């Protein structure tokens, strides 16, 4: 019964939790871009370089490991393909945990702006 009670508690929590479709909307927007623009090349700095040749071709060059950056965030880094404008798909709502997520995203956006990239 202990497992069943934990599941019941999770169901009650989810039923009472603030509702948001922000993730659903973000996912659909990203999928729309994929369908509209197709696949694009991964930027060189994000590519894995398991061979010497790939390293010589610039794969992984100037890659920034976010875990080693201040606040574990590579400020100003671009993860979008070179021919694609950066977008923010996820727009948190002003309810529940998403309020804190929005605050965090705002702080990260300021760090990005400070890099000048």
Asked if residue 87 lies in contact with residue 80, where contact means CB atoms within 8 angstroms, the answer is yes
The pair of structure tokens assigned to 67 is 């875990």
14 located within any domain: no
Digit-coded pLDDT (tens) for 25-76: 999 999 999 999 998 999 999 999 999 999 999 999 999 999 999 899 999 9
Q: Is residue 1 part of a domain?
A: no
101, pLDDT greater than 80: yes
Say if CB 80 and CB 41 are below 8 A apart: no
Closest CA to 54 of 40, 42, 69: 42
The parent domain of residue 91 ranges over 20-115
Number of domains in the chain: 1
- Domain membership of residue 6 (yes or no) is no
Tell me, yes or no, whether 12 lies in a domain. Answer: no
- Give a yes or no: residue 11 inside a domain: no
């Amino acid at each position: 019964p202990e497992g069943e009670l934990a599941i019941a508690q999770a169901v009650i929590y989810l039923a009472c939790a603030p509702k948001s479709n922000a993730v659903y909307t973000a996912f659909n927007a990203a999928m729309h871009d994929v369908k509209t623009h197709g696949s694009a090349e991964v930027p060189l700095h994000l590519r894995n370089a398991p061979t010497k040749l790939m390293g010589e071709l610039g794969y992984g060059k100037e890659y920034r490991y976010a875990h080693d950056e201040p606040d574990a965030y590579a400020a100003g880094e671009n993860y979008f393909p070179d021919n694609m404008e950066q977008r923010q798909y996820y727009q948190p709502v002003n309810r529940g945990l998403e309020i804190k997520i929005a605050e965090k995203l705002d702080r990260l956006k300021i760090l990005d702006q400070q890099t000048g990239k």
